[in-house]
């Protein structure tokens, strides 16, 4: 089937099923082209909560589709490839979180949305990369537990007056952004500015002109007068920006592919709509507690 045929069939099925396609900024181009909305974790959550579609086809990783289901429990949420997980989200289990809480009684738990619904259910409030500082600052506590990303936790600790006790998780893709590589790229492109995602390490964040979520970086890239930009995040976003802004030059930091974000294809999106697969299902008791943490986040965003 050609790309045009796939797109036509997807459009027909979307109308038949009253479906909407949401895609994360890291998705491959052919998937982003099918999407009704592309964005970062926060934007996608807000869209999932607001849409009046009956079906959401979520192109991203598992925790993102789960978050959509938490916010729209009456809707059918489908993932074209159910094997697209987030290794960082799997770095803390509910049992580990219960022990972490027991070691620090009274401290509220801030869960990065990159967590499972079961872990969110044990947490007080969620955050994303675009509102983590704001969420932590909003809490009426001097000490907070931050899970699972230790690098985002470190960034938050440096930008709030809270004591942040971090879990030791990390994003395998973003920790590969190496300060020596970035320095070399900056030497090679002295006029380029450097923007980066807060999942990268402190040494790398300290070299950046902007630290922001994926949509924050995209917005900045569109608005800046800079003509050359080194982008420290998953390369799917950088490839898209290069297409959107051909008059600017974007440099990809090497080794920045998230393999899970590449699992979804246009053919799988079509199969998802055709066969109504693969449905996200969350235990109602877990969902109710997890939803509270996500909704609390949306209240302060
Ligand atoms: P954003 O919310 O900034 O899009 O980040 C999601 C993510 O998984 C980054 O690795
Ligand atoms: Fe998870 Fe990192 Fe992939 Fe984002 S880039 S989905 S944090 S593994």
Check if the beta carbon of residue 25 is closer than 8 Å to that of residue 236: yes
Q: Please check whether residues 200 and 226 belong to one and the same domain.
A: yes
Query: For residue 168, what are the contacts with CB-CB under 8 A and spacing of at least 6?
Result: 91, 148, 150
Number of domain units in the chain? 3
- For the CA of 259, the nearest ligand: 2
- Nearest-atom index, ligand 1, CA of 25: 4
- Nearest-atom index, ligand 2, CA of 87: 8
- Which residue has 């006790």 as its token pair? 165
Q: Where residue 98 sits, what CATH number does that domain have? A: 3.40.50.10800
Residue 12: what pLDDT?
A: 98
Residue 288: what pLDDT?
A: 97
Q: Please check whether residues 101 and 70 belong to one and the same domain.
A: no
Low-confidence ranges of the chain (pLDDT < 70): none
Residue 176: what pLDDT?
A: 98
Binding-site residues, ligand 2, Cβ < 6 A: 61, 86-88, 114, 171-174, 199, 234, 258, 260-261
Q: Please check whether residues 103 and 40 belong to one and the same domain.
A: no
Check if the beta carbon of residue 26 is closer than 8 Å to that of residue 234: yes
Q: Please check whether residues 131 and 201 belong to one and the same domain.
A: no
Q: Please check whether residues 77 and 218 belong to one and the same domain.
A: no
CB atoms within 10 A of CB 198: 26
Closest residue CA from atom 8 of ligand 1: 114
Report yes or no on whether pTM surpasses 0.85: yes
Tell me the sheet residues that pair with 55: 19, 76
Pick from 157, 151, 158, 211: which is nearest to 176 by CA?
Answer: 151
Q: Which domain holds residue 217?
A: 177-252
Mutate to test the pocket of ligand 2, among 112, 114, 116, 235 (most ligand atoms within 8 A of CB): 114
Residue 45: what pLDDT?
A: 87
How far is the CA of 242 from the CAs of 64, 193, 218, in angstroms? 25, 15, 11
Q: Please check whether residues 166 and 289 belong to one and the same domain.
A: yes
Residue 25: what pLDDT?
A: 96
Q: What is the pLDDT of residues 56-86, one digit of tens each?
A: 999 999 999 999 999 999 999 999 999 999 9
How far is the CA of 6 from the CAs of 2, 17, 20, 60, 274, in angstroms? 6, 16, 16, 19, 11
In terms of DSSP bridges, do strands 109-112 and 228-232 run parallel, antiparallel, or are they unpaired? unpaired
Q: What is the pLDDT of residues 196-233, one digit of tens each?
A: 999 999 999 999 999 999 999 999 999 999 999 999 99
Q: Please check whether residues 95 and 79 belong to one and the same domain.
A: no
Q: Please check whether residues 289 and 165 belong to one and the same domain.
A: yes
Check if the beta carbon of residue 135 is closer than 8 Å to that of residue 110: yes
Cα 5 to ligand 2 centre (Å): 31
Q: Please check whether residues 192 and 160 belong to one and the same domain.
A: no
Q: Please check whether residues 69 and 127 belong to one and the same domain.
A: no
Q: Please check whether residues 272 and 238 belong to one and the same domain.
A: no
Q: Please check whether residues 112 and 146 belong to one and the same domain.
A: yes
């Amino acid at each position: 089937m050609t790309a045009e045929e796939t797109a036509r069939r997807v459009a027909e099925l979307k109308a038949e099923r009253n479906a909407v396609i949401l895609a994360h900024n890291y998705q491959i181009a052919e998937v982003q082209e099918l999407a009704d909305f592309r964005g970062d974790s926060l934007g996608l959550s807000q869209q999932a909560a607001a849409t009046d579609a009956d079906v959401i086809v979520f192109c991203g990783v598992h925790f993102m589709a789960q978050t959509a289901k938490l916010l729209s429990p009456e809707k059918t949420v489908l993932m074209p490839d159910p094997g697209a997980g987030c290794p960082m989200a799997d770095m803390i289990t509910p049992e580990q979180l219960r022990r972490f809480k027991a070691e620090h009684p009274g401290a509220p738990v801030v869960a990065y949305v990159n967590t499972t619904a079961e872990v969110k259910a044990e947490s007080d409030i969620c955050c994303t990369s675009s509102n983590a500082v704001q969420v932590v600052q909003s809490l009426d506590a001097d000490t907070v537990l931050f899970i699972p990303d230790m690098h985002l936790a470190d960034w938050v600790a440096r930008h709030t007056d809270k004591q942040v006790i971090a879990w030791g998780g990390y994003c395998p893709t973003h920790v590969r952004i190496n300060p020596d590589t970035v320095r070399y790229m900056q030497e090679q492109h002295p006029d380029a500015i450097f923007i980066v995602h807060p999942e990268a390490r402190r040494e790398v964040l300290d070299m950046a002109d902007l630290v922001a979520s994926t949509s924050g970086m995209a917005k900045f890239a569109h608005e800046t007068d800079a003509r050359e930009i080194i982008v420290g995040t998953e390369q799917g976003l950088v490839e898209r920006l290069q297409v959107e802004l051909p008059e600017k030059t974007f440099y990809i930091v090497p080794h920045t592919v998230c393999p899970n974000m590449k699992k979804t294809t246009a053919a799988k999106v079509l199969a998802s709509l055709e066969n109504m697969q693969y449905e996200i299902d969350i235990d109602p008791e877990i969902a109710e507690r997890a939803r509270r943490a996500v909704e609390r986040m949306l209240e302060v965003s």
